[in-house]
Amino acid sequence: MQNSKARPLPRPVVIAMPGNEQLADELATLLWLERGAATVRRFPDGESYVRIASPVGARAALIVCTLDRPDDKLVPLLLLAKALREAGARSVGLVAPYLPYMRQDRCFQPGETISAQHVGAWISQCVDWLVTVDPHLHRIADLSQVYSVPSRVVHAAGSVAQWIRAHVREPLLIGPDEESAQWAGAVAKDAHAPFVVLSKVRRGDRDVEVSVPDLERWRSHTPVLVDDIVSTARTMIETVGHLRRAGLAAPVCVAVHAVFAQAAFDDLRTAGAGEIVSCDTIRHPSNRIPLAAAIAASLRTLLPEDAARVGRRAPRL
Ligand code: R5P
Query: Given ligand 1 and candidates 229, 265, 267, which is best to mutate, with the most ligand atoms within 8 Å of its CB?
Result: 229
Closest CA to 30 of 7, 62, 58: 62
pLDDT band at 5 (very low <50, low <70, confident <90, very high): low
More confident position, 316 or 116: 116
Which ligand 1 atom sits nearest the alpha carbon of residue 179?
4
The CATH architecture annotation of domain 13-155+292-311 reads 3-Layer(aba) Sandwich (3.40)
Q: Does residue 9 surpass a pLDDT of 90? A: no
| Residue 12: strand, helix, or coil | coil
| DSSP 8-state symbol, 247 | T
Average pLDDT, rounded, for the chain: 92
* Nearest atom within ligand 1 for CA of residue 200: 6
Cα-Cα end-to-end distance for the chain: 33
Q: Classify strands 222-230 and 207-211 as parallel, antiparallel or unpaired.
A: unpaired
Tell the residue nearest (CA) to atom 2 of ligand 1. Answer: 103
CATH number of the 157-289 domain: 3.40.50.2020
Closest protein CA for atom 1 of ligand 1 = 179
Over residues 15-64, the pLDDT tens digits come to: 999 999 999 999 999 999 999 999 999 999 999 999 999 999 899 999 99
pLDDT of residue 3: 52
Sign of CA dihedral 64, 68, 73, 77: positive
pLDDT (tens digit per residue) in 94-113: 999 999 999 999 999 999 99
* Cα–ligand 1 centroid distance for 175 (angstroms): 11
For residue 206, the ligand 1 atom closest to its alpha carbon is 13
CA 11 – CA 109 distance, rounded (Å): 48
Q: Of 95, 104, 101, 82, nearest to 151 (Cα)?
A: 95
Least confident segment among 47-51, 84-88, 208-212, 225-229: 208-212
> Which of 230, 266, 269 most suits a substitution to test ligand 1, by most atoms within 8 Å of the C-beta?
230
pLDDT in tens, 134-191: 999 989 999 999 999 999 999 999 999 999 999 999 999 999 998 888 889 999 999 9
Domain range list for the chain: 13-155+292-311, 157-289
User: Nearest residue CA, atom 3 of ligand 1?
Assistant: 229
Q: Which residues approach ligand 1 with their CB closer than 6 A? A: 103, 177, 179-180, 208, 227-235
- Same fold for the domain at 13-155+292-311 and the one at 157-289? yes
CA separation for the pair 127, 149 (Å, rounded)? 8
Q: How confident is the model at residue 269 (pLDDT cuts 50, 70, 90)?
A: very high
Residue 287: beta bridge partners?
278
Atom of ligand 1 nearest to the CA of 208: 14
